[in-house]
Amino acid sequence: MNAHLNDEAFAALLAGEQVESATHHLTLCAHCRQELTSARLALGQLRIASIDWSEAQQFARPVAPAQSPGMAWRMPRFALAGIALAVLIPSAWFAHLEQREAAQRTAATLADHTRDDQLLNAVRRELAEEVAPSMQPLMIDQTATQPEDAPSQQE
Amino acid sequence: MESNFGVTEAQAVPSALDDIETLMQVHRTRILRFVMLSIRDADAAASITQDCFLKAYRYRAQFRGECAISTWLIRIAYRLICDHTRTERFRFWKRVQANAVDAQEMANSLPQGGSSPERHAIAQQQVQAVFASLEHLSDRQRAVFTLHFIDEMTADEIATSLTIPVSTVKTHLYRSIAKMRKVLGAQV
């Protein structure tokens, strides 16, 4: 027999089934015999390793009572990150808008103050003059209309 | 309350399932192993295993004793695994996950026993290779493969656990072995 075991026959033997033709082939073919032995050995080693691993986890990972079972793996981490971004981005945007509005309000307030100062200064200047320009004609008229026989204060 | 297993939530039925602590002590290692080999993610395996026992406790009235408790637990675990692997999140993390880390961790669990360091190193390499090759199997093939070769369950037991026909179990088993043989080549 030249051909080696096909997948079906190999799988049947590895799965523990007795296939007469395949079993007979094994007695004749060292290659298939070696392959089957290696496969059994490797699977046995995986079994031993996995048993040891799971028993080690029994002690390494104590089960904590969970309020909501399975939530840790059900809530995707990137969904949490998305929620965080969905909250942070609008917050940052609104904060930026508020800052801009506050700056505009400050500028407007400064302009108002400047105008108020200018107005106050003008009022102060006018008040500081001894006789207001509007009163000057009145002062001239009073001098002109004074009677000649009016008694002098020096007298 | 309707569960995803199509049953109503358990009433207080006295049974072996009532004592969840004992239940976990007896079966947790086996369920964890099955889940771990199915998804190859230690953290997710621990979560799913815990979820499995909580579901078993919550819906314990469903258990009629028609099969072994371990078979019933594996059925629950398998459905949780299917739910888990269906999520996009899992697919994403599976792509970016460095599988070799878990394979190395699994290989490191292999006890040296009385073998020489060289033989032990070769055995570790074989464990890594077989473990990594599980990646190439479909979810159902991996479940059948794990239950048969790691838990040493018969085709009938696997069929009961996964609620599929025995012929389907055998088909998946054969296909998984063929894939493993192809992937591993001369290593196994």
pLDDT tens per residue, range B104-154: 777 777 787 777 788 888 888 888 888 888 888 888 999 999 999 999 999
Closest to A52 (Cβ–Cβ): which among B30, B111, B126? B111
- Give Cα separations from A28 to A6, A11, A61, B113, B145 (angstroms): 15, 18, 50, 33, 28
Q: Give the chain A residue whose CA is nearest to the CA of B40.
A: A50
Count of domains forming chain B: 1
Amino acid at B59: Y
| pLDDT for residue B101 is more than 70 | no
- Do A49 and B92 count as a contact with CB atoms less than 8 A apart? no
Question: In the prediction, which pLDDT does B40 show?
Answer: 82
> pLDDT category, B52, cuts 50, 70, 90?
very high
Range with the largest mean pLDDT of A120-129, B86-95, B119-128, B140-149: B140-149
Q: Is residue B158 part of a domain?
A: no
The C-alpha of A11 sits at a distance from chain B's nearest C-alpha, in angstroms, of 5
pLDDT tens profile A57-98: 766 655 544 444 455 555 667 787 888 888 888 888 888 888
Q: What is the mean pLDDT of residues B156-164?
A: 92
Closest to A76 (Cβ–Cβ): which among B29, B30, B89? B89
- Do B188 and A38 count as a contact with CB atoms less than 8 A apart? yes
What CATH number does the domain containing B73 carry? 1.10.1740.10
- DSSP lists the bridge partners of residue B8 as B2
- Where do we find the tokens 């200047």? A125
In 3D space, the residue among A145, A69, A54, A125 whose CA is nearest the CA of residue B27 turns out to be A54
Q: Residue B2: phi, psi to the nearest 5?
A: -85, 130
Q: What is the mean pLDDT of residues A119-132?
A: 77
Q: Is residue B120 part of a domain?
A: no
Both tokens of B58, joined, read 């919550």
Burial of B108 (0-12, 13-18, 19+ CB in 10 A): middle
Residues of B in contact with A50 (CB under 8 A): 33, 36-37, 106, 109, 150
Residues of the domain holding B65: 1-97
Question: In the prediction, which pLDDT does B115 show?
Answer: 75
- Do A78 and B92 count as a contact with CB atoms less than 8 A apart? yes
The C-alpha of A88 sits at a distance from chain B's nearest C-alpha, in angstroms, of 23
Q: Is residue B9 part of a domain?
A: yes
Question: In the prediction, which pLDDT does B182 show?
Answer: 82
Residues of B in contact with A69 (CB under 8 A): 50-51, 54-55
Q: Give the chain B residue whose CA is nearest to the CA of A6.
A: B178
- DSSP lists the bridge partners of residue B2 as B8
Flag whether residue B30 sits within 8 Å of chain A, measured between CB atoms.
yes
| pLDDT for residue A110 is more than 50 | yes
Flag whether residue B42 sits within 8 Å of chain A, measured between CB atoms.
yes
- HEC states along B107-153? HHCCCCCCCCHHHHHHHHHHHHHHHHHHHHCCHHHHHHHHHHHCCCC
Q: What is the mean pLDDT of residues B24-51?
A: 89
pLDDT tens profile A6-56: 888 888 888 888 888 888 898 999 989 988 898 888 888 888 888 888 888
Distance of CA B161 to the CA centre of its chain: 11
From CA B23, how far away is CA B40, in angstroms rounded?
Answer: 24
Closest to A47 (Cβ–Cβ): which among B46, B149, B180? B149
Q: What is the ipTM of this complex?
A: 0.77
3-state secondary structure of A47: helix
Q: Give the chain A residue whose CA is nearest to the CA of B86.
A: A74
Q: What are the DSSP calls for B144-179, one per residue?
A: HHHHHHTS---HHHHHHHHT--HHHHHHHHHHHHHH
Domain range annotation of chain A: 1-61, 76-128
Flag whether residue B36 sits within 8 Å of chain A, measured between CB atoms.
yes
Report whether B59 contacts B34 (CB < 8 A).
no
Cβ-Cβ contacts under 8 Å between A and B: the total is 127
> pLDDT category, B188, cuts 50, 70, 90?
very low
Q: Is residue B187 part of a domain?
A: no
Q: Residue B169: phi, psi to the nearest 5?
A: -60, -45
